Copies of this chain bind each other. A is one copy, B any other.
Amino acid sequence: MEAKAVVLQNFNQPLVIKTFSVPVLKGGEVLVKVEAAGICGSDVHMWEGRDPRTRLPMILGHEGVGKIVELRGEKKDIYGTSLKIGDKILWNRSITCGQCYYCKVKRQPFLCPNRWVYGIHTTCSEPPYLTGNYAEYLLLVKETDLFKIETGRNLETFVPASCSGATAAHAFDLSGMEYGDSVLVQGVGPLGIFAVAFARSQGASSIIAIGGTEERLKMAGYFGATHCFSRHPLSLKERSEAVMELTHGRGVDVAFEMAGEPDALKECISLARPGGSCVTAGFGEPHGSVDLDCFHDLNRKNLRLQGIWTSDVKHTHMALQLILSRLDDFQKLVTHRFSLDQANEAIRVMKNKEAVKAVLLPHG
């Protein structure tokens, strides 16, 4: 059997479609027909050569959802359900070693030094070749964590669970947010939209979204933001006054930086209340620094500032459950669809932030 896949051969050059032989499965492996693959912001960075983990040539794509075409041996999903050919599945995008200090003692597998991600650390010049989601078929190694999807819905809706949804889940997991808290979300791309949705689904009393583009802010409102402030008509000072008025002059209980901009992080820190927390998950690659006043920003404020790096299976589970609870809403998150042939256009749309979420549909 053969499979077409979108290959990154040279940075900043058009992606190319290549044909691969589907390898013979080993014990525990699963071959998946990719129904939809997500275009992530980091794919753009990889295409531009800004991610040192990239090993050329490679098949891009770490977000995906599909159907089982073949499987070797008995397989169960993470919930204990037996899997068979034809089942629809989502999978955790990364593989971890399960035997290091992070995996076993600290229960932080997302920091495992042996962690690798489909479509990020892989190259298509080595077996099993088909290791990126921008392809007709994907080979899942034995250690991959699987989630069977029981609903009859459009599978593409689940694509963002595996990256931005899971990362937002991780941010909430470490945020210390309590029921009834006021929440600020800085940035309203997919990561920010998920943060808004999680805040609403965990009982935030008010959810203030700050963003730059009108369409995305509208989406934030649709997902549950109680107040949406645009960076353009409103100055930093006006936004600050508005937030303080909404929070009895204290600032929000928890602020989420989901924009990947130093100014956004500064604003989050300044708008978090004393004793509150500020979670930053937006920086997937090096992009500037913030200057913090030790006394005012940290000590006197008793602030908790928490950085977030990627996610693990727990978080993919959380994101999947969130999507399942609001299927109609999340279907609207996917604003653009492309065939494999249009992969270069898909990258362009994501780069220009024309889309909220764009997906490739390898089988049309």
Q: Interface of A with B (CB < 8 Å)?
A: 76, 78-81, 98-102, 104-108, 110-111, 113, 143, 145, 169, 172-174, 178-180, 198, 201-203, 205, 248-250, 260, 262, 265, 274-275, 280-309, 312-314, 317-318, 320-322, 324-325
- Given pairs A80-B248, A290-B291, A302-B308, 12 additional interface contacts (CB within 8 A): A76-B100, A79-B248, A80-B101, A102-B274, A104-B314, A178-B318, A179-B202, A205-B324, A280-B299, A286-B293, A287-B295, A300-B307
Of B99, B292, B305, B314, the residue contacting A289 (CB under 8 A) is B292
Most buried by B among A98, A284, A313, A322: A98
Closest Cβ of chain B: how far from A245's Cβ, in Å? Answer: 12
- Name the CB-closest residue of B to A144: B99
Question: Do the beta carbons of A205 and B304 come within 8 Å of each other?
Answer: no
Of B248, B281, B285, B301, the residue contacting A307 (CB under 8 A) is B301
Contacts of A76 in B (CB 8 A): 99-100
Question: Do the beta carbons of B295 and A283 come within 8 Å of each other?
Answer: yes
Docked CA distance A249–B101 (Å):
12
Docked CA distance A334–B51 (Å):
54
Contacts of A321 in B (CB 8 A): 179-180, 203, 205
Contacts of A291 in B (CB 8 A): 289-292
Question: Do the beta carbons of B205 and A203 come within 8 Å of each other?
Answer: no
Closest Cβ of chain B: how far from A288's Cβ, in Å? Answer: 6
Question: Do the beta carbons of A174 and B318 come within 8 Å of each other?
Answer: no
Contacts of A324 in B (CB 8 A): 205
Question: Do the beta carbons of B250 and A80 come within 8 Å of each other?
Answer: yes
Closest Cβ of chain B: how far from A338's Cβ, in Å? Answer: 29
- For this chain, the copies found in one complex come to 4
Docked CA distance A280–B76 (Å):
33
Question: Do the beta carbons of B203 and A302 come within 8 Å of each other?
Answer: no
Question: Do the beta carbons of B307 and A299 come within 8 Å of each other?
Answer: yes
Docked CA distance A244–B97 (Å):
22
Question: Do the beta carbons of B108 and A275 come within 8 Å of each other?
Answer: yes
Question: Do the beta carbons of B203 and A325 come within 8 Å of each other?
Answer: yes
Question: Do the beta carbons of B250 and A314 come within 8 Å of each other?
Answer: no
Question: Do the beta carbons of A198 and B179 come within 8 Å of each other?
Answer: yes
Question: Do the beta carbons of B314 and A307 come within 8 Å of each other?
Answer: no
- Name the CB-closest residue of B to A285: B295
Question: Do the beta carbons of B180 and A275 come within 8 Å of each other?
Answer: no
Closest Cβ of chain B: how far from A6's Cβ, in Å? Answer: 27
8 cross-chain pairs, A with B, having the tightest CB-CB distances, nearest first: A298-B307, A180-B321, A104-B313, A283-B299, A302-B309, A305-B305, A286-B295, A283-B295
